[in-house]
Amino acid sequence: MEQSWPPPRAATLAALVVLLVLAGAGSLVLSTVSTEAVASDTTPQKLVEPKPGENVFWPYTSRQRSPAGRTLAINVVVYADAETVRFYLSERRDATWNETEERWQDVDPDDGERNEVDAANQTVVEWGAARGAKRFLYVHDRALTEEGPNETTRRPYRALPFTGGVGEAGGEWIDETYQLHDGKYFASRYHLRVYESPYESDEWVAIQAHSDHWDWFRLRHTVHDTENAQDYVESEFWGNPAVDAVWRMYLDNPKGVGSDGWATVVDFRGVSNPLPDAKTAGAAALAGFVAVRPGRSRTLLARLVGADAAALDGSPTAAVDPPGRSVDSPAASADRLLVSRVRIAAALRSWDRLDGRQVALASWALSYALLFAALFLLYLSVRFGGIALEERFHETSPKVIAAALYPVLAFGLPIAAYSFGRGLEQTRCFAVAALGIGAAMVVDYQFLGVTVLPLDVVLHRLGIATALGLVAAGSVHGEASMERVNRFLAAGVLLWVYLLIAPLVGWL
């Protein structure tokens, strides 16, 4: 009887995949509509005074011109102008910071406290925007505010808060003056957003400092820390004669990734374009030697390979080399050649002694090792490939590099799991594939310096390991019909497609 094509199970699988893709596309459309619908220019009601007598700001950044889009907390304030800060961090001698050009600016994810609006903003629609995502800071005229009741104002360790009398007039949302980064775009980096007050009379700059890393599943950066980034920026100013003082001031903005409500304050005392002291660096060289003592008898050589030298090469027992033979002499070269031949002969003799069961066991172990290594190396090759391409083609847009490497992740991993899992036992195959990709993720995060992850990201990565394990376990065996869709394979493919779409459309 002639069979229909495609098989019923294959058609069902294809239909489910299409539904998932359509659901993802629908999410993109809804996210765009939602972003426009909730955009508002409402003003926040809690402001802080960064410097005595100067204008006030809301101590958070926002994705939109509204407190509803709150992201990360302001954690550095510098008493200087924006150009002084730029010069000090990126242009002085031994500077490690670089200004983030527009094409290398990227969408930063939320601080873990998302609502429907936040989730809508975290989509590939923003990632594909020409200028990348903006983060806004609200600044208000201090003369049009009223001091909040019962507030303690001990300077310089506590900022003066204002909690009432803030009207629509007298304030504005500003975007960052510029961005700085220290690190690799496709690895991990310290990232600064620098905001200069729009009031000419103000002498302060607000900075949001955080650490982030490139997530290949989200195709954007994920903030994983702010405390270490704040400490790193703070250390840049300590001990420099251009800086009058460095201290911590409480801004009462503890909500966010790693924020405890305290901000670093750097006081330049009006110094413009400070020139730091010249720093000198030295390097110490370590030297050693390795003494090689060549062997002088073939009897010792025989012990090294675990057999009698005379039995291995079919010759009488070799005599000891005469004293005084140079290691570079023709006789010594002949000895080294004999070493290689004896070792090869010993290996072949040992292999010949293996029975069929041992050969099968070795082949079995090699098959699982290849499955593990294929997923492990392929996953890490995307990370290090992106870093290498970034260094080699710095003038190229990061979107081009990401577009070139993402298919390796999206299609290469399941293809590798399917190919190297064929013919293996299903349970072991699932475990080895899951361990291979899991080990690669652990090594990747160790390389990036990421020690804490949100629960939803952890669950997503566990799902990735499960999906690839199912694909490997469901790979078609030699005796099975190619037209039959394995249930494990179907479940793995569906889960894999869903886990690819979810982080791209803001479900993660």
Average pLDDT over residues 428-449: 96
Percent of the chain with pLDDT over 70: 60
Tell me which residue range forms the domain holding 218: 26-267
For all residues of the chain together, what is the average pLDDT?
A: 73
Are 139 and 157 contained in the same domain? Answer: yes
Predicted confidence band at 209 (pLDDT cuts at 50, 70, 90)? very high
Distance CA(473)–CA(487), nearest Å, equals 10
User: Is 110 inside a domain boundary?
Assistant: yes
Instruction: Specify the pLDDT at position 221.
Output: 92
Which of 66-70, 99-103, 104-108, 167-171 comes out lowest in average pLDDT?
Answer: 104-108
Are 60 and 169 contained in the same domain? Answer: yes
The residue assigned the tokens 């290594």 is 373
CA angle 232, 174, 265 (to 5 degrees): 30
Nearest to 266 by CA among 80, 468, 32, 16: 80
Predicted confidence band at 355 (pLDDT cuts at 50, 70, 90)? low
Instruction: Specify the pLDDT at position 325.
Output: 47
Instruction: Specify the pLDDT at position 60.
Output: 94
Structure tokens at 36: 């426009």
Predicted confidence band at 96 (pLDDT cuts at 50, 70, 90)? confident
Predicted confidence band at 332 (pLDDT cuts at 50, 70, 90)? low
Are 164 and 219 contained in the same domain? Answer: yes
Domain count, the chain: 3
User: Is 308 inside a domain boundary?
Assistant: yes
User: Is 206 inside a domain boundary?
Assistant: yes
Distance CA(29)–CA(289), nearest Å, equals 67
User: Is 21 inside a domain boundary?
Assistant: no
Number of other residues whose CB lies within 10 A of the CB of residue 365: 10
pTM of the model: 0.69
Are 364 and 466 contained in the same domain? Answer: yes
3-state secondary structure of 465: helix
Instruction: Specify the pLDDT at position 426.
Output: 87
Distances (CA, A) of 457 to 60, 172, 258: 24, 35, 17
Predicted confidence band at 328 (pLDDT cuts at 50, 70, 90)? low
User: Is 201 inside a domain boundary?
Assistant: yes
Are 338 and 429 contained in the same domain? Answer: no
Are 38 and 162 contained in the same domain? Answer: yes
Are 248 and 122 contained in the same domain? Answer: yes
CA angle 224, 218, 178 (to 5 degrees): 60
Instruction: Specify the pLDDT at position 122.
Output: 37
CA angle 375, 377, 379 (to 5 degrees): 65
pLDDT: which is higher, 488 or 132: 488
Average pLDDT over residues 369-374: 95
Distance CA(68)–CA(44), nearest Å, equals 9
Q: Please say if the pLDDT value at position 337 is more than 60.
A: no
pLDDT: which is higher, 260 or 154: 260
Are 122 and 202 contained in the same domain? Answer: yes
- Dihedral sign of CA atoms 356, 357, 362, 363 in order: positive
- List pLDDT tens digits, range 265-275: 999 865 444 43
Are 374 and 344 contained in the same domain? Answer: no
Distance CA(166)–CA(145), nearest Å, equals 5
Buried residues in 60-89 as b, exposed as e (16+ CB within 10 A): bbbbbbbbbbbbbbbbbbbbbbbebbbbbb
User: Is 18 inside a domain boundary?
Assistant: no
Are 367 and 384 contained in the same domain? Answer: yes
Instruction: Specify the pLDDT at position 312.
Output: 39
- List pLDDT tens digits, range 99-146: 877 655 554 444 333 333 333 333 332 333 323 368 999 998 877 776
Q: Which of 309, 328, 353 is the last residue of a domain?
A: 353
User: Is 325 inside a domain boundary?
Assistant: yes
pLDDT: which is higher, 355 or 154: 355
Q: Please say if the pLDDT value at position 163 is more than 90.
A: no
Are 66 and 116 contained in the same domain? Answer: yes
Instruction: Specify the pLDDT at position 104.
Output: 53
Distance CA(190)–CA(168), nearest Å, equals 35
Q: Which of 353, 370, 395 is the last residue of a domain?
A: 353
Instruction: Specify the pLDDT at position 242.
Output: 84
Instruction: Specify the pLDDT at position 435.
Output: 96
User: Is 132 inside a domain boundary?
Assistant: yes
Q: Please say if the pLDDT value at position 233 is more than 80.
A: yes
Most confident of 266-275, 488-497, 499-508: 488-497
- SS (HEC) of 481-497: CCCCCCHHHHHHHHHHH
Are 159 and 45 contained in the same domain? Answer: yes
Instruction: Specify the pLDDT at position 30.
Output: 41
Most confident of 126-135, 149-158, 239-248: 239-248
Predicted confidence band at 47 (pLDDT cuts at 50, 70, 90)? confident
Q: Which of 221, 245, 267 is the last residue of a domain?
A: 267
